[in-house]
Structure 1
């Protein structure tokens, strides 16, 4: 018995012949001449033959699906009607197709031959290649303990397929390790870096030139498109300023608000926005007063903004501040704040977002609240999370210095050009 098992597991034993299985597209292409011959729409003047063809096609479809899925299929006879080209026009004749094959290639060949149709397409697919001489090479490198060379075995065999699958899982896990991932991808990274070097240098030059010329604080690219698009946008913006110099004074010495230009719009839309930017500046001048009003109502809490919060126009943010301040004022007119609250919340920070915004404590300890939240619910939320927000803020203040130190250390030790992190990566 053990000798039998040993022979079965020999990696150089040719156990099963591999049968070429066709895809759904290949099956449809191979049977196209047959479908054109028996399609029910061709038999509008022969209703009984049309009905028989429809029924037989439905049965044939299920039979072929079972064969492709390697399910058992009983021998079956199917009747079809086709146009008889040898007789007068409009006459039809019946054919019998006997299906008993277990593989899809033979079944299709049988169907086509029964109708007198060519099988060239199927033959071109399943044409067996010349068998290669078996050579027992020892090029395979043993990677793991008790590893064996399975390069010459049938990968679909039930014994070997399990072993091969386990090996693929192990190799995938190894590839996910940082050291292995860097080893496999560093050449590709260097190649892409060198190709985009010229773009990055030009982007840096354009940034510095436009920033200095217009007296801007900075130029940001908050878009998922690559450097090529960023360079194009900078060139378009520079050209716009040169052609319309009157917009220079609009951008110089701007307030705290950011001027955002959508990269997907044409320059005409940019110009229209910049020409009407004064009305947004009026809202910006009112925002500090609304933030101070909210802070005063909520015991001198800091009113801040998330770095990656959804971008909104100044007028909308002004309305959000007004709405939540009114809600808290109404609550304070009916009830007082909880006694366990400290006299001042100046060590805490609140961020007011749109009505679709979340209600949460951020990893940095900020209270993130939607503008539509009722005053009672907001007060209750702050009461339940006051300690947690303070703890998170302390950890953040400590971790941010450690993070900066580690980033600089990694950049220096590994001689990196830059080390950055995605927005969704926290400091913990």
Structure 2
């Protein structure tokens, strides 16, 4: 009877920002993860244990979403290809079926949307709106929201809709303001969160041990059979998913061993698309069928020829720019295929040859540079390498690198010292907490990891014997029992 009273939800990307708010700065990765918690809670595969098809769809979509969000945060990106995603969304206190398919008898519905946003904030808002989830918690964040009119919106109500409490009492819907107030009153601390989740994680970890042994066995067998340098995964898939991928590769090896052995000496990476990466690694797209994998292995000799040409290009650029080393850093640059990266290097080398920039042959020896197609001004990264735009002016490029060469060397020295400190503190934390493993997500910097480990080693020891601890941006228990904690975890109760 009260269905017509529900506020209308609109899903136009250019209108997804809430009325009355102007965001003064871009959302950080940690803030985006926090803002998406209601979404992760509604689609997390662990809640679809009795529905394997829906669970698999959500797992695959979450991987593709993770790739999209990671690329948005990488420096130098200009635009991303539209990414179509499908999620099965559970019925929760925040979900509503307005404008979407109704919930099934199992308590979930399918939601499809296409991401074509250019920043984290609009992406987060678009995802929440597409799944009919509240964005009130983003509006309430006074650290990055200022009350100013949003001129670009085509239509907005005169004021935000705020229902009387009797509406929530009668309909049974949860008052978002009340829920937000409850969350703000008490924020999870490391101690309280571990107390509530260590046993759960321990049970999941114990259940995953047989699969972990199976994964190690399969990896060793296939590495030896195909004479591979390594087998890796680009995303944080679960152990069962990884075993399934290796079983699939093993069946293909039984059918066509000679073809697959063309990858001898290579690193094999299971990722989102098939091809050869800018690092020269063989990428197997997990959504591709065996036929696509076989075709890739058949074409590897031509990829190896292209790789040799690419290394020659890098050497030529190095000679033209004073001996600086051209590198590709996976965690800091947009994901490129070998063909894409070669094209980028070739165009840059042609520009250098045309300009004839005079640099002393050894003036930049020992330093590194990355090449980007999305920047127009060079920069010096805190890790010590130069970010060089393909379209920048070569004369300005020469002056920039020479004038900052000493600073770059100092940054490299600090990075090496920080990495040594990070490794030492990780080992100390593993010993003190009796952990099986301590690691971090790729988005966590060495500086953040050092800050986290320094605090871990100086606090009372929690009951984490033989657990696997991952330093991340938020709290979670992974499906195989790994505990994720934010690098800036709190150890005192929030003030009420």
Aligned residues of 2:379 and 2:386 also touching (Cα < 8 A): yes
Matches of 1:345 and 1:27 in 2, distance apart? Answer: 64
Query: What is the number of equivalent residue pairs in this alignment?
Result: 280
Matches of 1:302 and 1:363 in 2, distance apart? Answer: 17
Residues 188-227 of structure 1 mapped to structure 2, 5 A cutoff: 188-227=200-239
Is 1:306 matched up with 2:325? no
Q: 1:342 to 1:329 in 2, by over 3 A?
A: closer
Residues 150-189 of structure 1 mapped to structure 2, 5 A cutoff: 169-172=184-187, 175=188, 177-189=189-201
What is the aligned counterpart of 2:441 among 411, 416, 422? Answer: 422
Q: How far apart are residue 342 of structure 1 and its match? A: 10
Is 1:391 matched up with 2:406? no
User: Counterpart of 1:146?
Assistant: none
Matches of 1:395 and 1:203 in 2, distance apart? Answer: 37
Q: Secondary structure at the match of 1:419?
A: strand
Q: Secondary structure at the match of 1:350?
A: strand
Residues 30-69 of structure 1 mapped to structure 2, 5 A cutoff: 69=163
Matches of 2:297 and 2:180 in 1, distance apart? Answer: 60
- Name the Cα RMSD after superposition: 3.7
Matches of 1:394 and 1:198 in 2, distance apart? Answer: 43
Q: How far apart are residue 388 of structure 1 and its match? A: 3.6
Q: Secondary structure at the match of 2:440?
A: coil
Matches of 1:240 and 1:284 in 2, distance apart? Answer: 25
User: Counterpart of 1:276?
Assistant: 299
Is 1:404 matched up with 2:419? no
Q: How far apart are residue 23 of structure 1 and its match? A: 6.3
Q: Secondary structure at the match of 2:371?
A: strand
Q: 1:206 to 1:356 in 2, by over 3 A?
A: farther
Spell out, residue by residue over 1:90-139, the C-alpha distance to the aligned partner (whole angstroms, 9 max, x if none).
Answer: xxxxxxxxxxxxx779xxxxxxxxxxxxxxxx9xx89xxxxxxxxxxxxx
Q: 1:348 to 1:242 in 2, by over 3 A?
A: same
User: Counterpart of 2:346?
Assistant: 322
Q: How far apart are residue 416 of structure 1 and its match? A: 0.8
Q: How far apart are residue 377 of structure 1 and its match? A: 4.3
Q: Secondary structure at the match of 1:365?
A: coil
Aligned residues of 1:330 and 1:375 also touching (Cα < 8 A): no
Aligned residues of 2:377 and 2:392 also touching (Cα < 8 A): no
Q: Secondary structure at the match of 1:260?
A: strand
User: Counterpart of 1:331?
Assistant: 355
Q: How far apart are residue 197 of structure 1 and its match? A: 1.9
User: Counterpart of 1:5?
Assistant: none
Give the structure-2-normalised TM-score. 0.50
Q: Secondary structure at the match of 1:416?
A: coil
Spell out, residue by residue over 1:35-77, the C-alpha distance to the aligned partner (whole angstroms, 9 max, x if none).
Answer: xxxxxxxxxxxxxxxxxxxxxxxxxxxxxxxx98449xxxxxx
Report which structure shows greater RCO (CA 8 Å, sep ≥6): 2
Spell out, residue by residue over 1:291-348, the C-alpha distance to the aligned partner (whole angstroms, 9 max, x if none).
Answer: 1111101111122221423333323322222222222233335xx45xxx99521121
Q: Secondary structure at the match of 2:232?
A: coil
Is 1:347 matched up with 2:363? no
Q: Secondary structure at the match of 1:327?
A: helix
Task: Identify, as 1 or 2, the structure richer in helix.
Answer: 1
Q: 1:351 to 1:69 in 2, by over 3 A?
A: closer
Q: 1:381 to 1:70 in 2, by over 3 A?
A: same
Aligned residues of 1:68 and 1:104 also touching (Cα < 8 A): no
Q: Please tell me whether Structure 1 or Structure 2 has the larger radius of gyration of its CA atoms.
A: 1
Aligned residues of 1:358 and 1:370 also touching (Cα < 8 A): yes
Q: 1:377 to 1:181 in 2, by over 3 A?
A: farther
Is 1:246 matched up with 2:262? no
Aligned residues of 1:363 and 1:426 also touching (Cα < 8 A): no
Structure 2 unaligned segments of length 5 or more: list them: 8-160, 268-278, 448-496
Matches of 2:182 and 2:282 in 1, distance apart? Answer: 54
Q: 1:25 to 1:285 in 2, by over 3 A?
A: same
Q: 1:185 to 1:345 in 2, by over 3 A?
A: same
User: Counterpart of 2:319?
Assistant: 296
Q: How far apart are residue 289 of structure 1 and its match? A: 1.3
Aligned residues of 1:324 and 1:373 also touching (Cα < 8 A): no
Aligned residues of 1:247 and 1:274 also touching (Cα < 8 A): yes
